[in-house]
């Protein structure tokens, strides 16, 4: 494994750094996957993504003919590091960039790629992922939303749930059952659905953070052109696996850079609390715990590099992404919860109280992090994947 960069890659890093120092918005905090509720803040994020695209910083490893930059994924990694360095907010169309784009590039026809990929990059069309249903999350292949072919259109009926960013999305990666008489994994198809079609309704769900980040989607006789079938009819499971593997692989890369920031912030909080004698914790416990977090973040980094060099050698994201996903999701919960332990009783104070610490940042983080071990597949499911696909253990019953 070679961790050094070529002169061209170093030149790109300096170019990105200079551009970000001038252009990164200072007034929008980096909240990762979470969306602001204020429409003006959404508009500002949309504009931010457009500017990133126009400056040539998005789709770095995607083909030039579809709006990408035709470089290697090393450039995407450099960009993620530089964005984290100045704490720039993520691009708004995160699901489009990390999931829809790579899946359409891999399974789409030339016409589908031309139609969809450039607008994912420019943020003209925002995407969401309609996979989970009320009765099928972990057991995704058991889903019951169905589509029937009528002439040149599929007619879709059913409901999806936990659809992140559905409230701002224009398009949905929709997994539906088209062959009900086939075994469950073989009867699925993957449709690209315009959310604004007649018969689609979006109902936001409020999370314990108080935000409405995900939604229920209802499909009532929604007509989808046959041309929007991605992959072959009945081959949706294979296409969906591409989406899921990309979700775990691409998100883990950018997450490492962001976790270094979280770790540094936690260290700052700890040092200040110790200096001001404002923590009920024994400083020796804080020291031990921070050392362990540091080791965990470093492990995440090397694991991401290993997955990354596999991709560079031409591989596709594989089950190894489950290790990264497990590590970051559980570490994020432990780091946020430890911040509250450092704050002690002050952790209970709400935003705006005279003694509230850092405007409730760690409180928000603690609540939001609970979802980390559920989204993208739960920790139990990741351990099943690791046991079965990496360790060769027999399937559980
Ligand atoms: C913040 C957030 C955002 C999300 N965004 C999206 C999105 O954009 N699009 C989308 O389609 N979905 C999304 N999801 C849904 C997510 O993928 C599912 O919640 C997840 O797959 C779990 O499914 P479930 O909620 O139905 O739980 P269940 O599958 O019912 O699981 C319940 C419990 O049983 C355990 N369990 C289930 N099966 C097994 C097994 N075989 N072995 C061991 N334990 C098992 C699980 O680990 C869990 O603890 C999101 C979820 C969250 C929390």
- Look-up of token digits 């919860």: 337
The Cα–Cα gap between 183 and 142 comes to 10
For 371, which DSSP code? G
Instruction: Note the pLDDT tens digit of each residue in 100-142.
Output: 999 999 999 999 999 999 999 999 999 999 999 999 999 999 9
pLDDT of residue 351: 63
Give me 261's structure tokens. Answer: 């920031």
Q: Which of 204, 243, 374, 394 maximizes ligand 1 atoms within 8 Å of its Cβ, making it the mutation to test the pocket?
A: 374
**pTM of model > 0.85:** yes
- Give the separation between CA 307 and CA 329, rounded to whole angstroms: 17
Determine whether the shortest distance from the Cβ of 387 to ligand 1 is under 6 A.
no
Distance of alpha carbon 20 from alpha carbon 57, whole angstroms? 10
For residue 376, give the DSSP letter. T
Q: Which of 132, 385, 388 to mutate to test the pocket of ligand 1 (most atoms within 8 A of CB)?
A: 132
Q: Is the CB of 338 under 6 A from ligand 1?
A: no
Q: Could you tell me the two tokens for 42?
A: 């959404």
What pLDDT does 210 receive? 86
CA of residue 365 to ligand 1 center, whole Å: 20
Torsion-angle region of 165 (φ positive above 0: left; ψ -120 to 50: alpha; else: beta):
left
CA contacts within 13 A on the Cβ side of 89: 23
pLDDT of residue 354: 58
Compute, in angstroms, the gap from residue 137 CA to the centroid of ligand 1: 4
Regarding the beta carbon of 72 and ligand 1, being less than 6 Å apart is answered no
Cβ atoms of 230 and 190 within 8 Å: the answer is yes
* Residue 113: per-residue pLDDT: 98
Whether the CB-CB separation of 332 and 370 falls below 8 Å is answered with: no
Q: 82, 16 in Cβ contact below 8 A?
A: yes
Q: Measuring CA to CA, which residue among 314, 181, 304 is closest to residue 250? A: 304
Residue 373 Cβ contacting ligand 1 at under 6 Å = no
Whole-number Å distance, alpha carbon 226 to ligand 1 midpoint, is: 30
Q: Is 378 in the pocket of ligand 1 (CB under 6 A)?
A: yes
Q: Does 216 contact ligand 1 (Cβ within 6 A)?
A: no
Q: Please state the atom number of ligand 1 nearest to the C-alpha of residue 95.
A: 8
34 lines ligand 1 (CB under 6 A): no
**Cβ(318)–Cβ(310) under 8 Å?**
yes
How far is residue 46's CA from residue 36's CA, in Å, rounded to a whole number?
12
Nearest CA to ligand 1 atom 22: 137
175 phi/psi in degrees, rounded to 5? -100, 125
pLDDT digits (tens, 9 = 90+) for 45-87: 999 999 999 999 999 999 999 999 999 888 998 999 899 999 9
- CA distances, 36 to each of 89, 172, 259, 262, 288 (Å): 11, 20, 20, 19, 35
| HSE-up of residue 172 (Cα within 13 Å, Cβ side) | 32
Interval between CA 174 and ligand 1 midpoint (Å): 17
Cβ(66)–Cβ(118) below 8 Å: yes
pLDDT of residue 45: 95
Give pLDDT, residue 157: 98
CB atoms within 10 A of CB 187: 20
Other CB atoms closer than 10 Å to residue 384's CB: what's the count?
Answer: 17
Strands 188-194 and 171-177: antiparallel
Active site residues: 247
Q: Judge if the beta carbon of residue 142 lies within 6 A of ligand 1.
A: no
Q: How far apart are CA 229 and CA 206, in angstroms?
A: 32
- If one residue of 137, 143, 163, 206 were mutated to test the ligand 1 pocket, choosing by the most ligand atoms within 8 A of its CB, it would be 137
**Which stretches in the chain have pLDDT values below 50?**
none
**Ligand 1 pocket check for 377: Cβ under 6 Å:** yes
Q: Could you give the CA distance from residue 177 to residue 147 in angstroms, rounded to a whole number?
A: 6
């Amino acid at each position: 494994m070679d961790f050094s960069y070529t002169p061209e890659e170093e030149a790109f890093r300096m170019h990105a750094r200079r551009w970000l120092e001038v252009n990164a918005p200072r007034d929008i905090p980096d909240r990762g996957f979470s969306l602001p509720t204020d429409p003006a803040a959404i508009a500002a994020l949309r504009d931010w993504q457009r500017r990133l695209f126009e400056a040539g910083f998005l789709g770095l490893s995607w083909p030039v003919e579809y709006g990408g930059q035709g470089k290697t994924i090393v450039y995407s990694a450099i960009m993620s590091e530089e964005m984290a360095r100045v704490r720039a907010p993520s691009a708004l169309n995160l699901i489009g960039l990390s999931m829809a784009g790579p899946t359409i590039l891999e399974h789409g026809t030339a016409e589908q790629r031309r139609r969809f990929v450039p607008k994912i990059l420019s943020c003209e069309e925002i995407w969401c992922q309609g996979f989970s249903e009320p009765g099928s999350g972990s057991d995704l292949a058991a889903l019951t939303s169905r589509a029937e072919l009528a002439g040149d259109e599929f007619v879709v009926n059913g409901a999806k749930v936990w659809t992140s960013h559905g409230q701002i999305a224009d398009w949905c990666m929709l997994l539906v059952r088209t062959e009900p008489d086939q075994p469950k994994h073989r009867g699925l198809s993957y449709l690209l659905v315009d959310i604004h079609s007649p018969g689609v309704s979006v109902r936001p769900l409020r999370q314990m953070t108080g935000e409405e980040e995900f939604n229920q989607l209802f499909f009532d006789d929604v007509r989808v052109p046959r041309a929007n079938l991605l992959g072959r009819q009945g081959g949706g499971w294979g296409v969906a696996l591409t989406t899921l593997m990309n979700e775990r692989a691409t998100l883990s890369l950018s997450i490492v850079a962001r976790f270094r920031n979280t770790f540094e912030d936690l260290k700052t909080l700890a040092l200040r609390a110790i200096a001001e004698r404002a923590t009920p914790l024994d400083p020796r416990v804080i020291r031990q715990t921070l050392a362990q977090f540091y080791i965990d973040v470093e492990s995440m980094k090397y694991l991401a590099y290993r997955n990354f060099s596999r991709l560079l050698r031409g591989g596709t994201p594989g089950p190894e992404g489950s290790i990264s996903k497990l590590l970051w999701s559980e570490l994020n919960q432990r780091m946020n919860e430890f911040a509250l332990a450092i704050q002690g009783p002050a952790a209970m104070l709400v935003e705006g109280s005279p003694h509230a610490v850092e405007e409730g940042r760690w409180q928000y983080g603690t609540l939001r992090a609970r979802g980390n071990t559920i989204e993208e597949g739960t920790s139990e499911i990741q351990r099943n994947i690791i046991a079965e696909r990496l360790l060769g253990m027999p399937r559980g019953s």
